[in-house]
Structure 1
């Protein structure tokens, strides 16, 4: 009820921040603990502590984990585990709603989103926005309540969710903490790295619902889908032209195309064609 009444009963003991939700206060309190970033003493790079070992391996060149099948080496055990799936064909991430399986958790996540489209959604009482997960709804509700519990210690910038603050921090540090262990690619955000990694694993998680075409990235899929859209427009043009031809009239080609283009854009049934009789 506090979200609707405007009451903010949860108060930060270290500053004047107040909020309507206990979870927001918990997130805010973490900003007082200090950012978990480190500065490399061998270069200008700085990033999250979770990526310390991976980054330092670039300086030390140490790659203690080796694949017994092909000699591939990496700095971390988790990367070797992922690599081994190329040889074993293992796909440990299983969908609980169909027989789909994937070698990477991110691929399963994209697949599950398709199932979630059919699930009941949580709905915002303010504007009708709906989602099938609680976390995105909380982030969305912050747009109505103006809650921004995540604060940048460098400039005071505030964000509604942790991922936005993390992305913002890279503006200060210049960091691209998500590194590919198989090439020099690096990214500011984890989803970008996840999409890049499928170029190494050979997975093609993006599938066209029209024809079954698969690809390893969203950009290629977007281009492919446009081909189907163009074909549908072409078919529609053909059907309209047949109807016009059957009425024993000849259209001036230029005016026909201009009128049709306008008709497709406006979806108007009241646009006249400039035609000439056949007899």
Structure 2
């Protein structure tokens, strides 16, 4: 729709619409007017639909129900959107590319990439956004208002979906369910991302190379490789990163704060994902399932990496040679071969390594520490992969399966090596001749021929 068809314009910020009622509602974002008032508390809203949703808190009524998974809601439009997670319908389509989405707000945000238009403006500081909800979140910096309040504790939030996620801690309710594997979550956006594990959809595409991702955060991190931009900075030491979550984790080094606490023991973590992995030790729950071989894990990122053993995808690429890897840690290890850099040193013996995790494992050779213990016998190990392999002797479980020939193993690294018998890949290359090998130990044996 061009601007000639959007004849109603906001004189404050230039927002245009084809509907007078939309302009009336929009103007309330400038005036602060909230004409729809709750008759049971002091809540008021700019839109009637917002009041309707609020009233459900008083009545508890959730009259709209999903016939597929039992999800209930007080809001018909929420049910309509929810049903698209089952049907896969994406009615909002971009007229400039092949992008489509289940929600109108997502399309509006996407269109801004084509037009560059950022029609929502903050009257306090001039910040502009293509997304109304982003402006609302931004305004909290000025007002400090967090209108979404928890009924069970003193938590409050600037955005409703943050409150919805929080409420699940009290109620345990996880209304959003995956029809493929039964995974449940309290957060619709988590389900949307999860579904992509099954569909392989990667809607976030880099406009400078062929990289694509299932999550926007991953694309943002990738883009920093092209731009070199690291906009998040630590005020303590000057550390910079392209990733906000990486900065949060980094800040824990200075503050020592570990806000994510286990309610069953004294464990605490700086990152929620670490707590989630820890909690699986108590519950035994492994909710992420591989549809190819039945492998299960408590950690979404572990499933993402596991799926690459089936797909062969290696998204982590070396910018100095043609090496690529399925795991970021493998790429870091490889890069050290080019740079020769080994910043991590053992104070006991001077051993140096390019990886912090290698140093941690090495230190155990001095201390004798073996923190990974078997529940069935007195075996203990210095490294978790050793314990995983040992446990297979008790359980017989071999969760890693080759999709080509059905070979199964208890160890992911064994499957990785096995897959090379099908692909012909030989990543370990001799730098003195044209020999290459599927396994590192084979290369080491070969190198003796050159040195002897």
TM-score, normalised to structure 1, is 0.47
Q: Which has the higher contact order (CA 8 A, sep 6+)?
A: 1
TM-score, normalised to structure 2, is 0.31
